[in-house]
Amino acid sequence: MEFVAILMGSKSDYNVMSECVSVLKKFDVPYEVIISSAHRSPQRTKDYIKSAEEKGAKVFIAAAGMAAHLAGAVASMTTKPVIGVPLKGGALDGLDSLLSTVQMPSGMPVGTVALGKTGAVNSAYLAMQILALSNSELEGKLREDRVMKAKNVELDSSDIEVIL
């Protein structure tokens, strides 16, 4: 079974990453969630990546704050797509995690999304777009979601619209 593997560096990260989980649930996309730190539990991280790949993980989402090494560590252990979600916190309020996640060396890509909840949501959508390359049913759900988003813009506008 294909699924999305979600890793986060600490339990407190779940407050943000639950947004990612909610999106995947909405689209009935299978996922796993694990807490594993690139710094505090590197062997656990390595073991999980191997196990997840054997079970069918097709995309990895890694969320971390501060030094945000988790996404890079995951990318070093798999050739599957890795999406990094930088999280706020620490002295630089997320700028450090954003820069750590986005500044990967050549040949070790990490697709990086926005900080925080927006990034968590977008990581789920990006993972689903990757899965939809070989899943026409999921592609159809994503297309319908876009149609609904466009309709919602029109509805919101109709509540306040003034056109001469």
What sign does the dihedral 5-49-75-59 (CA atoms) show? negative
Could you tell me if 70 and 104 are in contact, meaning their C-beta atoms sit under 8 angstroms apart? Answer: no
Cα(5)–Cα(59) distance, integer angstroms: 6
Q: How far is CA 74 from the centre of its chain?
A: 13
Cα(23)–Cα(33) distance, integer angstroms: 14
Known binding-site positions? 10, 13, 40
Known binding-site positions for substrate? 10, 13, 40
Crossing angle of helices 116-132 and 14-26, in 10° steps, is 30
Could you tell me if 143 and 14 are in contact, meaning their C-beta atoms sit under 8 angstroms apart? Answer: no
Cα(50)–Cα(43) distance, integer angstroms: 11
